[in-house]
Amino acid sequence: MATATSRISARTLAAGITCTLAVGFSLSLIQAEEPV
């Protein structure tokens, strides 16, 4: 049970990091194209 939980936590953490990087990358691209 602990193994499954840690596996789910790791997957959730990885997904969160990926989403954060994707959002940050998109924002940097938008700022590069349209400087405020």
Per-residue pLDDT tens digits for 1-36: 568 888 989 999 999 999 999 999 999 988 877 666
pLDDT of 14 reads 95
Q: Cα separation of 31 and 13, whole Å?
A: 27
pTM for this entry = 0.59
Using alpha carbons, select from 23, 21, 28, 25 the residue that is nearest to residue 36.
Answer: 28
What residue ranges do the domains of the chain occupy?
1-36
